Structure formats: C-alpha cells, structure tokens
Structure 1
C-alpha cells in the first residue's frame, strides 16, 4: 500500500463498505479549473484499490476548457506527453448518494504527482495553500457560500422559461420573491435535495424564492473550515442538478440565463478567528469596526479588479453585472446594504463577517475562496484603508476603484496580475488564465444569432 498524501485510510473504505452493502458503484470526482467534476464511476470491488494506491488519471484532466476540450496553452497536454498522475481520495468525503438506482456512492479526489508531490494546477491545492498561509499567521478563516440557481423547463422550443411546479404542474412567470406558497410547488424536489444533502453530511439550510421567476436560493451552514465550505458548495450543486433531473426539470447554474431577470450569485460569507477561536472581525462596540475587518475589506477592494476573472470566469458571467440587479458593479463596501460588493451584514456582533458578493454561481468556489483569503491577507499585511462606506444606493456611486468592463479586460487583468499569481500559485494561475483565454477565443469566433438578426439583411 502506498501512503496517501491526503491522509485517507483504508479503514475508512472498509468501514463504509461494511455499513453500505447495498452500494454497487462509486463516482470518483475531481474538480478542474472551471469547478467541473471530472473522473470515473468505479465498481464496488475497486474501492479498496482506490484507497490503497490512488487512481491514475491523465494530467490533461486539469487542462480542459468548459466543454472538455484540451487547452494546449496550459502546458498540461502534450508538453507533458499527457502522462498519468495519481488522484487520491479526500478523507471524510466518501458518502452515499441519495435516490440512485442502483445505489451509488461518491468520493472527492485531489491530484498529486506520482511521487506524492502536490499537482498545483488542482484548485483544491490553491485553497489549501491560502488556508495554510493564514494559519502560519495565526489566522483561521470560517465561512459559507450561498447557492442561487434557476429551475427551468427542459423544453426550450418556446425559449428558456421557468419550470412548472413539480407538485402539480402549475406555472408562474411572476417574480414571486420570498413567496412561501410558491415554494410549495417545488416541495417534492427540495425534500429530495435536503435528504441527499443530509446523506452527504451537508447542512443545507434555508430555501427562498429569489428575485426572478424560477430562481431559488439555498444557504449552507457556516463552517469553521473553508475547504469544507467549498466542498459543500460543489456537492450541493451536483445534488441539485441530479435531483432536478429526476423530477423532470433543469437546474441551471449560469450566472445570467434569462436576459430580463436578475442573475445568480454565489455570495461567500467569511470571518477570521485567532488561535483561541475568537472572531477577530467582531467589534467591542456595535458599529465601531475593528482595524482587522476594515483592512480586510481594504485588501479585497484593492485586489478586486485584477481578481474579477475568478469571480466572473465566463462570457455569460458578465451579463449579470447591471444596475439595480443585486449584483455589484464596483468594488464598493457598506453595512447592511445589498447594492455593494462587500457587505457587512446585520446581526450579532459575535457573528461579524464580510459577505463577498461579486461571484456568480458559475465560479469555482475553491478559487473564489483562495482569492478572497489572499485579498484579506493583502489588506492586513499592508493595513489598507477601505475608504468611505457606501450608504444608500451603491449603483449611484462613482467608485474610484474600477473593475474590468468585460470578460476580455478581466482576462488581461488577471493574466498580468502578480497578486493573482500569488493567490492561486503560479501553476494554477497559468492554467486558469490559459483556459479562459482559449474559451474567449472560442466565443469570439462563434457566429451568434444576434449577428444574423442585426447584419444579415442590413449590411
């Protein structure tokens, strides 16, 4: 048996097989730069071998674009001869999947070189690196993501539209924001989502009807381990997608699927504790902010522009940033204000945190968390003043700091950013920006329907 670099043990696999004699197969899932789960389905008898020696996977699996095509510019394809590396199970992630037939399990994986060294184009390692850097500074981040998404009708012959209620087929094209009765129509689906999350050890909490027809939000329990928070998010997305499909609807995680409605965000709530577990963002007197939270916000504001590609990684991501849409359009900060990018939510002082609002639900949570932690560290190290708080309508302000205007500018800013290179690590930075540049080139060459609508008969 080869020693697992993740700390996974054969005992975990043996105990799981004993406890779950019904499970016939396992999804082994590794997340790439886009946050897409890639891997294999193995049979029950193969699980022991996975825990004894890992599983060979091609290095190119981490150099793929959004549709699974090789991106040669990452240096992870033919420059390496597309050789095999070794993926290892993540301890504590071996779980049963709810509602599969035949019964299946799932385990998350992370990539290493054959000698056990980190494969640093794996997004998990980028986050682990920032968590360790904070620990070296005596800081321990905690956090949780919010998951916004649309439930859509699988029949697109009449265009993209909200799904009918799975309970009784009732259809509504109204916004229905915060309507509890509207949620009842999707109750069978959400009940399965909650059961599947529970089977995974994920504490999925509040569900609301969000600010668009067919849009919903699920919140997750606050974690003292931000890696666990990112794992929760990627697994919950997979759960929602699978259970929606079983109920005959489509779960959509595009940032902006419907032009006239609000897009879907992935807000990241984050706080910092010291070695004693004390929340160092918490002020002694309510509203008298600590230097720690102010400098953290200052660092996030100062680095947001060059980091936006992480928070808005796709062409569609940039359609979400419009005024009066609950998506931020500048690196503003404020208190109890949903028009800003960095919000200090109302609530108990002991739970003081920053809500980081720029990311779309299409972003990779491992890279988002890594970049946010790096921005906080940058602000604390350089004691960056966040500037004046935005009050009232954040969309009406004229922030002195700007974010890129579009996807192309974001790619250029990210590629040139020394901060982002440090935040993600040089290899992950090269891989991620190369993939984004290749995807931009694909989209730029695409002859879209709008081209024919505007130009076919007019030029």
Structure 2
C-alpha cells in the first residue's frame, strides 16, 4: 500500500497474471479496493490461464464445462504495485499468480512452474543467476497486411536498411527509448544496454543479471508489456513476434545464467576458460532436453520461420565457446563470470516457462552428471548435428514424449499446454499470412 499512498493520483488498478502463452489476463479495479486485493486476492477461473492465443476456451478442456469452470485464487506476487507508464490516466498494476482456494499453488500457473523449479535448486543449496536479452521490432502496421519501419518520431524519416549497432538508428527513436527507460526505472525493470539489431527497425535491450529467476522472468514479462504499450503511444507496434518479416532475421530472447553454491561461489568457474565439470553437466542437460523444450522456445506457428539456417537462430542441437551460430554459447568473460547463454528461445516466448525449462534442464544434467559432447567449432549450420523439431506439430509431439519435460513441469501444466497448442495448430490453418501477422504482432 505504500506505493498507492505515495501516488494518490492513481484511481484505478489493473490486476494481471500470465497465461500459458504469456498473455496478461486480468481485471480493472478501483484503487479504493486495493486493501482487499492485498489481503484476500481476487478470483479468476482456472481456465483463464489456459486460453488459446485468441483468448478462447480450449475445447473439451476438463477445466471448463466438465468441472463447472471453477475459480482459482489469485494473490499478489512479491512485486507489489507499480505504474503503467503507457496509459494516459495514472494507473497501478498489481501482478498476480494463481493458487487453489486452500492456498496450494496451482500447477497450471506458469509462474508457479518456475517457482517449482526454484524449490529444487533451493533443496540442492544452489541459486541461479539469470539475465535476458530481448529483441523486438518497431513496426508501422497501419495498413492491414503491410509492415514497414515506422518513421522516426524525431526526423519523420523511415530508415529501411539494416543498421547493426548504429547510433543513428537508436537516435532516430530517441524519444521512444527515453520513455521506455523511464518506464523501466518506474517499474523496477533493470534495463541495461540498448542496441540496434541486424534488421530494419529491430532493437535489443539487455536486462541485468540477478540471483532471483522469478524476478528475472517477471522483468521480461513486464518489459514486453511496457515496450508494446509505449510503442502504441507513438503510433506504431513494438513486436516480439518471432519472424514478422520473411526477408529479415527474427526476434530472440537469449538467456544467460550461472549458478551459485551456498557460499556464493559460481559452480561453473574452475579458474579456466573452459569452465568446470558442472558447467558441462548443465550444458548436457540443456542439450538433452532441447527437442522436448522446443515448443516452449518456439511456441507459435510463426516461431518456426525464425529457426532456419544462416539467420542468427539455431537449428542444430550443439554448443560452443564464443560462437553465436550454436544453440548454446559459452561467452568469453572473466572466469568468475563463467556462464551459459541459451540462444534458442524466440522473442515470442512465455518468459516463465522458458526460464523454468532451461534451469530445470540444467539441474537435470547436474543431478544426473550427464556427459557433454565435444563443443563445435566454426559454423554450426555446417555440422551434422541433431536438429531441433522443424515444425510446430513436431515440437508438440516432442514436448509430449520428453522425459525431461515431465521432470521439470507438473503433469497438469503439460496436459493443458498440449491441449492449447493442438487447438491453436488446428485453427491457425484457416488463417491467411496477413491474418497470422495481425494475430501475433501484438499478442506475443
């Protein structure tokens, strides 16, 4: 309540939780009822966290008619209230996650899935340190079915060429980025470096590493919401869609992580550039789980347009030192900062499920003392590697059959996600390319 007392101008609140697709589902509430929200929470049907990408119920879901569409209990996360800088009226946002009415965590909640993985780490006396890098496009989508780089709010001109690490491209959208960074500061999102990326109108912002994976996932989820909201204030879209343009590279959400022991030592650090045996066990776990995890790293039909050779997105299941063509990269750094970068996830992921999948797979590898294959050298696309599932349908099947997925996630969430994705797979076949873009551009 301190935040609301400090902001008496706030008259309305949004309460929101992430569904399986990472879409924010919630309610608008007058600020005078904030005390009740904090102490008693609010209620949504369980099925709300299991809707398809259109916001429709999943047909034949046991959560809907079979069970009577009962309510779960939504309680505030540790985050508390924060502003929504993209709205005209001063408004507070209260992030939520779902429980059963008796207080048990609800297994179909994505944030609870990550908390479940974190419980495994705590039991092992380990703490992951997580950072994310999020790529997105700024897009003029004012004409249906036609996408182009928006005119600069500063100059009014469109820059149609790729300008990797271009200050000119950043400066062209300086007003947007100024508001975005101000919003990050207000929402306690640790936004660090911004760069222009390899495609026109594409940018990347790094979120700082922190020893709290739940907050790191919160930050990524809230950051996506903020980018989309601020962009619309300027009249264009901020899109994390995996591949909005056929001819340009897509959007990724690369995740960096290391793991600390109970004394605060990085277990991936052995004083060498190669890293410790624990690092290789963690890499091996990530590699073993990668086919089954692909549905979480590429959750939508459009996601598979990004995972093609020679497009700065991985297609083969391999790892390497300081090599951006590989699915898993060990960046060069001081040995004390030795870490793993997972480059497979797209910008369209649910951050909670992605962080849970990667950290869960790494812990599986550590606990099973998995042997790691030799790192590759050179262009990963030229190596004879096991390939990621190349289609959405194939990824759904791999997810269903993967033992690592069943170790990481509760069966209830697995079943819900499978039903959701199979429904989306069925109905996406009815859409034109233009309708597909219209659907994904803002939602993911």
Same fold (TM over 0.5): yes
Q: 1:419 aligns with which of 394, 401, 404?
A: 404
Q: Do structure 1's residue 169 and structure 2's residue 119 form an aligned pair?
A: no
Match of 1:8?
Answer: none
Q: Do structure 1's residue 40 and structure 2's residue 27 form an aligned pair?
A: yes
Match of 1:64?
Answer: 51
Query: For residues 393 and 17 of structure 1, what CA distance do their matches in structure 2 show?
Result: 53
Match of 2:365?
Answer: 379
Match of 1:443?
Answer: 428
Q: Judging changes above 3 Å, is the alpha-carbon distance between structure 1 residues 429 and 158 closer, same or farther for their aligned structure 2 residues?
A: closer
Q: Do structure 1's residue 301 and structure 2's residue 301 form an aligned pair?
A: no
Does the 8 Å CA contact 1:296/1:376 hold for their aligned counterparts?
Answer: yes
Q: 1:410 aligns with which of 395, 398, 407?
A: 395
Query: For residues 402 and 274 of structure 2, what CA distance do their matches in structure 1 show?
Result: 33
Does the 8 Å CA contact 1:266/1:357 hold for their aligned counterparts?
Answer: yes
Query: For residues 158 and 99 of structure 1, what CA distance do their matches in structure 2 show?
Result: 25
Unaligned runs of 5+ in 2: 436-444
Query: For residues 169 and 369 of structure 2, what CA distance do their matches in structure 1 show?
Result: 47
Does the 8 Å CA contact 1:63/1:72 hold for their aligned counterparts?
Answer: no
Structure 1 position 393, deviation (Å): 0.7
Structure 1 position 332, deviation (Å): 1.0
Structure 1 position 158, deviation (Å): 7.4
Q: 1:429 aligns with which of 386, 406, 414?
A: 414
State TM-score, norm by structure 1.
Answer: 0.92
Query: For residues 197 and 88 of structure 2, what CA distance do their matches in structure 1 show?
Result: 32
Q: 1:291 aligns with which of 277, 284, 287?
A: 277
Structure 1 position 377, deviation (Å): 1.4
What is the SS of the residue equivalent to 1:208? strand
Q: 1:328 aligns with which of 301, 314, 334?
A: 314
Does the 8 Å CA contact 1:74/1:430 hold for their aligned counterparts?
Answer: no
Does the 8 Å CA contact 1:153/1:163 hold for their aligned counterparts?
Answer: yes
110-119 vs 158-167, which moves further: 158-167
Q: How does 1:287-366 map to 2 (within 5 A)?
A: 287-366=273-352
Does the 8 Å CA contact 2:47/2:64 hold for their aligned counterparts?
Answer: yes
Match of 1:200?
Answer: 187
Query: For residues 213 and 123 of structure 1, what CA distance do their matches in structure 2 show?
Result: 33
What is the SS of the residue equivalent to 2:147? coil
Cα deviations across residues 370-410 of structure 1 (Å, max 9, x unaligned)? 111111112112222221111111111111x3321211100
Structure 1 position 16, deviation (Å): 2.2
Match of 1:5?
Answer: none
Unaligned runs of 5+ in 1: 1-12, 451-459
What is the SS of the residue equivalent to 2:258? strand
Aligned residues: 435
What is the SS of the residue equivalent to 2:228? helix
Structure 1 position 98, deviation (Å): 2.3
Query: For residues 113 and 303 of structure 1, what CA distance do their matches in structure 2 show?
Result: 30
Q: Which protein is bigger by CA-based radius of gyration?
A: 1
Query: For residues 45 and 361 of structure 2, what CA distance do their matches in structure 1 show?
Result: 32
Match of 2:84?
Answer: 97
State TM-score, norm by structure 2.
Answer: 0.95
Q: How does 1:135-154 map to 2 (within 5 A)?
A: 135-154=122-141
Structure 1 position 97, deviation (Å): 2.3
Q: Judging changes above 3 Å, is the alpha-carbon distance between structure 1 residues 357 and 448 closer, same or farther for their aligned structure 2 residues?
A: closer
Match of 1:133?
Answer: 120
Match of 1:26?
Answer: 13
Cα deviations across residues 320-363 of structure 1 (Å, max 9, x unaligned)? 01111110011110011100000001111111110001000111
Does the 8 Å CA contact 1:87/1:110 hold for their aligned counterparts?
Answer: yes
Q: Do structure 1's residue 185 and structure 2's residue 172 form an aligned pair?
A: yes
Query: For residues 238 and 161 of structure 2, what CA distance do their matches in structure 1 show?
Result: 18
Match of 1:457?
Answer: none
Q: Do structure 1's residue 253 and structure 2's residue 240 form an aligned pair?
A: yes
Query: For residues 59 and 403 of structure 2, what CA distance do their matches in structure 1 show?
Result: 23
4+ residue runs of structure 1 moved beyond 3 angstroms? 445-450
Structure 1 position 52, deviation (Å): 1.9
Match of 2:439?
Answer: none
Q: Judging changes above 3 Å, is the alpha-carbon distance between structure 1 residues 175 and 366 closer, same or farther for their aligned structure 2 residues?
A: same
- RMSD over equivalenced CA pairs, Å: 1.5
Q: Judging changes above 3 Å, is the alpha-carbon distance between structure 1 residues 288 and 102 closer, same or farther for their aligned structure 2 residues?
A: closer
What is the SS of the residue equivalent to 1:164? coil
